[in-house]
Amino acid sequence: MTDKQIVEQHHATFESILNVDESGNEYWNARQLAVVLEYSQYRHFLPVIERARQACRNSGQKSEDHFEDILHMVDIGSGAKRQVEDVRLSRYACYLIVQNGDPTKSVIAIGQTYFAIQTRRQELADDEQFSRLTEDEKRLAIRNELSQHNKYLAAAAKEKGVETSLDYAIFQDHGYRGLYGGLAAKDIHARKGLKKSQKILDHMGSTELAANLFRATQTEEKLKRDPVHGKQRANQTHHEVGRKIRQTIEELGGTMPENLPTPDKGIRQIERTKNKLDRKK
C-alpha cells in the first residue's frame, strides 16, 4: 500500500466519526472510535485509553484537556434510553490511542503508519520553514520551545525527588556544568556580562540555545526511561547528559557553548520589536 493510499484510507475511516460541538471544536467519542478500530467490546478498549492518558501525562500535557469523561444517552430499543460512560477525545488523544493500540489489527497498523507519515511531512515542512527564519526569529522560536521543555524537565525531575526551588537550581547547575565544561549558571552569567536581572537563556544565540534544548529534552527522556532514584542521581544524570552533548560538539569540531558569541539583543527586546511590527500589520 502506498503512502497516498494509507493516508486516504485512514483519513476516510477517522474523519467519518468526527464530531463538532456548538463552539466549533472537533472531537471524537471513544465508543465510536473503538468500533472503527475493530475492538469487539468497549471494555477491551478501555486499557488502550488508559495507556494513552498516561502517555499524554508523560509528555507534560494535561490529560483532561484531551480526555474528558462524559455520560450520554443511547437508545436501547422501544424508545427507551440509558446513560453510558464515554470519553470525549481530542485529535491528539486519538493519535495517542492509535499509537498505543494493538498493531496486529490492520486498522491500527494503518493508523500508526498514517501518523508516522504525517509527522515526517510536518517535520520536513518545519525544517524548510525554519531555514527561512532570521537569526532573531530562530532564537525566539527555540527559546519558546526551551521554556516549554524546561517545564517538562522540571516535572520529570520532581518525580525523582527534585522538589524544592533550591533542589531544582542545583539540578539545573549540574546540567550546565556538564555542557559548559564545569561552568555553573552564575559563571555563564558572568562570562556573558549580564545584569543580575537578566537570564542567560535570553542572551544565547540559536546554536547555543539548540544545545541547551537538546540537553533538556534528552535529560527528560533519560529520567523517565531509566531507573533513576533520588535527587543526587537525577543531578548526576543531568550532568552526564550535558557532558555527552559537549563531547559530541567537540567530536564534530563545533564551538564550545561558552565560547559562542552573546547576541547584542536579548529575547525580551526581540519580542517587543516583533509585537510592534505585528500591531502595525
Please write the tens of the pLDDT for every residue from 237-260. 999 999 999 998 998 888 999 999
Give the count of domains, the chain.
2
Residue 272 has pLDDT above 80, yes or no: yes
Q: Is residue 158, in this structure, part of any structural domain at all?
A: yes
100 and 148 belong to one structural domain: no
pLDDT band of residue 6 (cuts 50, 70, 90) is very low
142 and 108 belong to one structural domain: no
Q: At what angle do helices 165-179 and 206-225 cross, to 10 degrees?
A: 120
113 and 229 belong to one structural domain: no
Contacts made by residues 34-41, CB under 8 angstroms, sequence distance 24+: 36/107, 37/97, 37/98, 37/101, 37/105, 37/107, 37/108, 37/111, 38/105, 38/107, 38/108
140 and 271 belong to one structural domain: yes
pLDDT tens across 10-24, in order?
Answer: 555 677 788 888 888
Check residue 174 and report its DSSP letter.
Answer: H
Q: Is residue 127, in this structure, part of any structural domain at all?
A: no
Check residue 24 and report its DSSP letter.
Answer: S
In terms of residue numbers, what domain contains 28? 3-122
**How many residues can be counted in the chain?**
281
Q: What is the mean pLDDT of residues 45-54?
A: 91
8 and 38 belong to one structural domain: yes
38 and 76 belong to one structural domain: yes
Residue 233 has pLDDT above 90, yes or no: yes
Q: Is residue 128, in this structure, part of any structural domain at all?
A: no
Q: What is the mean pLDDT of residues 207-217?
A: 92
pLDDT tens across 92-128, in order?
Answer: 888 888 877 776 777 777 666 666 555 556 656 666 7
Contacts made by residues 127-134, CB under 8 angstroms, sequence distance 24+: none
- The pLDDT value recorded for residue 187 is 97
